[in-house]
Chain A
């Protein structure tokens, strides 16, 4: 059964730093991997979706990579801003169901 792990559970960095969030999964037979953002008390917003045949996707200051063979994905955030503070979740899409990590709570200090 697919398991998705996100480490660390929380991260606090000064504004302006580049940072990497990690997502690992146990079963490499995935259709895609998705990264979402969740603000406190809110729903989720899709950030990036990487198809299983792709290595990475970029949107603005965000870059997500996928290495199926090692069961890992990373979300790179460049030049972090206080507005990036949120919880970031990854999910694998297997058999039309999403399997979720518990998220990394990110705090960007001004």
Chain B
């Protein structure tokens, strides 16, 4: 079955540490997205990529980095510069250009140790 796989499900970060969240899709979608979800707030876009080897900052990109070396993969690194990383992180994919429903992974919950 096609879908999006995020790993790990839970992740703990020590102060000063970079951590990487994995997102893999086998839906043959060109576009991939990373969102952050905090309690009581809507999803906020961190980064998105419409095509391999290209990505754009979203509304809250500071303290995060991404790469898009393969169509199937869009890993997100939460760097030590992100001072408030505790949140639920969701990866999504969809056809390039938007306008169609995005498909979501089951998320990664990141906490600070």
Place the interface of chain B in its size category: 20 to 34
Residue B45 at the chain A interface, CB threshold 8 Å: yes
Tell me whether B90 and A32 are in contact (CB under 8 A). no
Main secondary structure of the interface of B (DSSP, over half): loop
Q: Are B104 and A43 in contact (CB under 8 A)?
A: yes
B2 / chain A contacts, CB cutoff of 8 Å: none
B106 touches A (CB below 8 Å): yes
Main secondary structure, interface of A, reads: strand
The verdict on B71 contacting chain A, using a C-beta distance below 8 Å, is: no
Query: CA A99 – CA B42 in complex, angstroms?
Result: 8
Contact B99 A103 (CB under 8 A): no
With contacts A96-B50, A97-B45 known, what are 13 further pairs, Cβ within 8 A? Answer: A9-B40, A31-B99, A32-B99, A34-B101, A42-B107, A44-B90, A46-B101, A46-B103, A89-B43, A93-B98, A96-B97, A97-B58, A98-B98
Q: Which residues of A contact B (CB under 8 A)?
A: 4, 9, 31-32, 34, 41-46, 49, 89, 91, 93, 96-103
B residues in contact (CB < 8 Å) with A: 4, 6, 40-45, 48, 50, 58, 90, 92, 97-107, 109
